[in-house]
Amino acid sequence: MWTLLQAACLLGLLSAVVPESYEDNFQVHYDSNYINELPEDKQTEEETPTPSPDPCKGSAFTKWDKLFTMLENSQMKENMLLQYTDDIIKVELQSLRKEMMQFVAQYGGSCAVAIENSARRTGAQIDARLQNELDRLRKVSDDQYAKCDEVLQQLLVSTGNQAAQLERLENVCQKSTQGKSLHARHLTHEVTDAERLEKGLATIYSELQALREQMTLHMQSHLANGLPSGCDTGLLFPMRSSTSHVEVTPKRPFLTNAVTICLWAKPTQVLNNTVLFTYSTTGNPYELQLVLNGQSVLFTVAGETHLVEASRAVQEGQWVHLCAVWSSWQGLASLWVNGQQAASSPGVAEDHELRSKGSILLGQEYGRYFRHLSVQDTFDADQGFTGKMTGVNMWDRVLDSKEISQQARLDGSGCGTRGNVVAWGVSNIEPKGGVKLIY
Q: Looking at domain 234-438, which of 1.10.340.30, 3.40.50.300, 3.30.70.1880, 2.60.120.200 is its CATH number?
A: 2.60.120.200
Lowest mean pLDDT among 1-15, 181-195, 391-405: 181-195
Dihedral sign from CA coordinates of 363, 367, 372, 374? negative
Q: Which segment, 12-16, 63-67, 396-400, 408-412, is predicted with the most confidence on average?
A: 396-400
Residues 64-92 as b or e (16 or more Cβ within 10 Å = b): eeebeeebeebeeeeeeeeeebeeeeeee
Instruction: Specify the pLDDT at position 21.
Output: 46
294, with CB counted inside 10 A (0-12, 13-18, 19+), is middle
Instruction: Specify the pLDDT at position 205.
Output: 82
Which pLDDT band holds residue 44 (cuts at 50, 70, 90)? very low
CA atoms within 13 A on the CB side of 237: 29
SS3 assignment, position 297: strand
Q: What is the pLDDT of residues 45-57, one digit of tens each?
A: 455 555 555 555 5
> For residue 337, is pLDDT > 70?
yes
Rounded Cα gap, residues 219 and 226, in angstroms = 11
Shortest CA distance to 264 belongs to which of 317, 316, 223, 322?
A: 322
Mean pLDDT of all residues in 105-133: 76
- Asked whether the whole model's pTM tops 0.85, one would answer no
SS3 assignment, position 34: coil
Rounded Cα gap, residues 310 and 324, in angstroms = 11
- Segments making up each domain of the chain, as ranges: 58-225, 234-438
Instruction: Specify the pLDDT at position 6.
Output: 67
Q: Which segment, 31-40, 184-193, 316-325, is predicted with the most confidence on average?
A: 316-325
| Residue 433 near residue 408, CB atoms below 8 Å | no
